Amino acid sequence: MTDPKISIVGAGLAGSLLSIYLAKRGFAVDLFEARSDMRIGEAARGRSINMALSDRGIAALREVGMDEYMLDHAIPMHGRLIHTPAGDTKLLPYSGRKGEYINSISRAGLNAALMTEAEKHDGVSFFFKEQCAAYDLSSSELEFASGKKARSSLVFAADGAGSALRQSLAKEVDGFASHSDFLEHGYKELVIPPGEGGKFLIEKNALHIWPRHKFMMIALPNLDGSFTCTLFLALKAAENSDEPSFEKLTDEAALTDFFAREFADALPLMPTLAEDFFSNPTGTLGTVDCSPWHADGRVLLLGDAAHAMVPFYGQGMNCAFEDVRTLDGLIETHGSEWSSIFEAFEQERKPNAAAIQTMAIENFYEMRDKVADPVFQRKRELETRLEQTYEDYFSKYSMVTFREDLPYAEARRRGNLQDELLMRLCSEAGEGHTVDAATAIELVRSL
C-alpha cells in the first residue's frame, strides 16, 4: 500500500506544526488555509496577538528543532503581577523553582516560523485563500467555498474552533455529537505602547492582571516594548444590574470613565484606548466538545477543531501542540494503520483535553476573583515555599504548565486534592500566620 497524500485543513498553529512532523516522516502534505499568507499581508485582527508558550508546547517544538529559535523570540514571564484597584502591585510567582516560567510569544511570528520551516521540506505545499466547506466521505473530496474540489483519502482537520470539517462530519457521520458552550464574557484587545526608546512601561517579565471580580484585564509583553492588554468583560449585563458590560461601553466618555474607575494605573499608559476599543472586534470565548474525533480512518479532528477551550490557562496552543506530538508517537507505533492511530489518539487525548478545558474555565474564576483573595494569596506563597524546599512538590499550575510528562487529567486530579488541603490550612491559620511547610508537605504526601 502506498502512503496517501495527506491534506491538512487549516495552516494555523497545529496544522503548520503537524505538516513538519509528517514531512519528517516522509509524507507529502497539502495544506489548505482560508486566509492569505500571513507572511505577506497584515496579520488578521481578532485573535490574540501574543500568547503564553509553556513546556508542553516547547516539548513539541523541540522535536522539530524549533524550541530554541522560538524561545529566542519570546519574553519570559515569571509570575502574575496583580494590580489592585488602588494601583498597588504584587508579584505571585508561577513557581518556586528556578527556570519554571512561561513565555510571551507572538502568535503571528510563531505561525509564520512554522510555515517557513514546513516549506523547507520537499512535498509540503501551502494553498492559501482556500476555505474548505466540507469533506465528502463517499467521494473522498474536500470541497472549497470557491467551488474547487480536491481528492484526498487522508485529512487532518486543524481548522480551529469554528471548524467547517467538524460541521461537515456532524452532517455525514451517524451519531456524531458536537456542542459549543460560550461564556457570557467576551474579550477585546488593547495596547500599552512602548515608552521612549522601546522602554517597557510596566514590569517586562510578568503577566499582568487587574482582577476585578466580575471582569478583568490582563497584559502580556511584546518584544518591541509594548504590551497587548486583553479586557475580559460580560457581553451584556444582567437585567436591572449596574454591572459593566461591553454593551454599555458605547462611547468614549463611558469607556474613559470605566477605565479611570477600574484600571486607573493603566489608563495613562493607553493613549490609543478609545481608538483600539472601538475598532478592534469583541471576541467570544467558548468550549467545544465533540465526538468522535475521527471518521472512517480518513479524517481526524485535532487542536481547537476537536477541543477548543477558553484561554485562561494559556494552554489551547500548548494542548494542540501536544496533540501533534502524541499523534506522531502513535504513527511511530502503528505505522500507516490510520484507523488504529485515530482510535488510540482519541482515547488518549479526549480525557486530557476535557481536563484542561475544565481547568481553563476554573482558572477564569481564579484569575478574576481568587487572585485578589488574601487566603488564596497566602496559599500561593505557601506553594512557592514548598516548591523552593521540596523537589517532589508541584502546584496544580506547575503540573499543568511545567510537567510535560504528566497528562492533564492527572495534573487536575492531584492538583484538586492539594488545593483543597492547602486552602484549608491557610484559611485555618488566619491572616499574619505562616503555615509550617514541613507540616504541609507531610499532609500533601499523605494524599
The dihedral through the CA atoms of 291, 161, 227, 52 has a sign that is: positive
Number of amino acids touching ligand FAD (CB under 6 A):
34
Residues 6+ apart with CB under 8 A from 337: none
Cα torsion for 195, 196, 197, 202, to the nearest 10°?
Answer: -20
Place of cell 499568507: 37
Residue 55 binds ligand FAD, judged by CB under 6 A: no
Helix H or strand E segment including 106: strand 102-106
CB-based closest residue to ligand FAD: 12
- The mark string for 338-377 relative to ligand FAD (x by CB under 6 A, - otherwise) is ----------------------------------------
Question: Which of 103, 152, 318, 357 touches ligand FAD by CB under 6 A?
Answer: 318
Q: Which three cell numbers stand for residue 437?
A: 511547610
Closest CA to 277 of 255, 245, 254, 248: 255
Look-up of cell digits 462530519 = 169
From 7, 19, 48, 401, residue interacting with ligand FAD (rule: CB under 6 A): 48
Residue of 12, 79, 93, 186 interacting with ligand FAD (CB under 6 A): 12
Work out which of 81, 164, 375, 386 binds ligand FAD, going by CB under 6 A. Answer: 164
Among 96, 109, 160, 186, binds ligand FAD (CB under 6 A): 160
Asked whether position 6 contacts ligand FAD by CB under 6 A, the answer is no
Applying CB under 6 A, does 14 fall inside the site for ligand FAD?
yes
CA distance 372 to 366: 9
Whose Cβ is closer to ligand FAD: residue 74's or residue 444's? 74
Cell readout for 438 is 514541613
Burial of 69 (0-12, 13-18, 19+ CB in 10 A): exposed
Candidates 96, 109, 244, 303: give the one binding ligand FAD (CB under 6 A): 303
**Nearest C-alpha neighbor of 319 from the set 11, 13, 8:** 13
Question: CB of residue 316 vs ligand FAD: minimum separation in angstroms?
Answer: 2
Q: Is 314 in the site for ligand FAD (CB under 6 A)?
A: yes
Binding site for ligand FAD (CB under 6 A): 9-15, 32-35, 47-48, 51-52, 131-132, 158-160, 164, 187, 230, 283, 303-305, 311, 314-318, 320
